[in-house]
Amino acid sequence: MQVFNNGAEWHNYWIQTLQTHKSIGFVPTMGALHEGHLDLIKASKKTCDITVVSIFVNPIQFNNAEDFEKYPVLTDQDLSLLRQEEVDYVFLPSMETIYPESPVLSFNFGNLENVLEGEFRPGHFSGVGIIVSKLFNIIRPTIAFFGQKDLQQVAIIKRLALDLSFPLEIQVVPTKREKDGLALSSRNMRLTSIEREKALLLIKSLNQAKNELLTGESWLEVRNKVQQLFEEEALTQLEYFELVHPETFEVFSEFDPHKKSSICVASFVGNVRLIDNLSINP
């Protein structure tokens, strides 16, 4: 495994070795790696000639400074794990490498960023757009791999790739879950044992809502029941529970079994904000 710390090093290597001969699979991460990241890496290794993983905690996608400060940084552990997975290359840039100056550019993704995560985390998707654009320009992957857990982010990145004509494919890998259903997230390690148990309310509510919709209950009834469940649990604070189109993020007021739809949820559990989603009609 070879580690690169700046874009110039990678560019020189790419020119000499990769540009005409190898398909490049790319897994961008913010570190604190878990089995969900490993699923992305395995998908890349299965599909592409080489796999590149980046580790960079991107400050401009955090709309909460405290959240950025508390984000777990486990670089040595991450590199050890990537060696075990026999990753080919790691891009591990410094803050100064990525942002030699504070960026003045911003992105507006229209309706995609006006709902759900965009509504509750203003500026988040612009920060995502900037870092992903930088990484795509530096690494020049053939295929980039993202997890379905970040469903709205996936839609944003697909729009970014389309509008800016990045010559790559976006591949989405299903959400990796614990045996009890909790979606894997680097934020989970910040949960206490009690909060970890209460966090299961996210997937329980998603499964309950999906089952009730498919048996004919109205979305309004289903949503009201879920909101009550969260209100009854003192350790949770529900931000949204919405039925959306998984690509356009149009918010539906009722369930149509003939339309693509997913349920998305975001809630604080203690002081940790978690998100999850579940497809109803893929």
Query: Which residues line the annotated binding site for ATP?
Result: 30-37, 147-150, 184-187
Contact 203, 181 (CB under 8 A): yes
The interaxial angle of helices 124-139 and 151-163, nearest 10 deg, is: 60
Q: Which amino acid is at 229?
A: L
Q: Are 16 and 131 in contact (CB under 8 A)?
A: no
* CB distance 142 to 61 below 8 Å: no
Contact 243, 263 (CB under 8 A): yes
* Spatial contact of 149 and 185, defined as CB atoms under 8 Å apart: yes
Which of the following is catalytic: 11, 37, 124, 258?
Answer: 37
Element (H or E) spanning 171, and its range? strand 169-173
Give binding residues as ranges: 30-37, 61, 147-150, 153, 184-187
Q: What is the Cβ-side half-sphere exposure of residue 246, based on CA atoms within 13 angstroms?
A: 18
Q: Which residues are annotated as a binding site for (R)-pantoate?
A: 61, 153
Q: Catalytic site residue 37?
A: yes
Q: Give the integer Cα–Cα distance in Å for 230 and 205.
A: 9
Give the residue from 78, 85, 42 showing the smallest Cα distance to 57: 78
In three-state form (DSSP H/G/I as H, E/B as E, the rest C), the secondary structure along 69-133 is HHCCCCHHHHHHHHHHCCCCEEECCCHHHHCCCCCCCCCCCHHHHCCCHHHHCCCHHHHHHHHHH
Q: Residues forming the annotated binding site for beta-alanine?
A: 61
**Residue 150 CA neighbour count, 13 Å, CB half:** 22
**Active-site amino acid positions:** 37
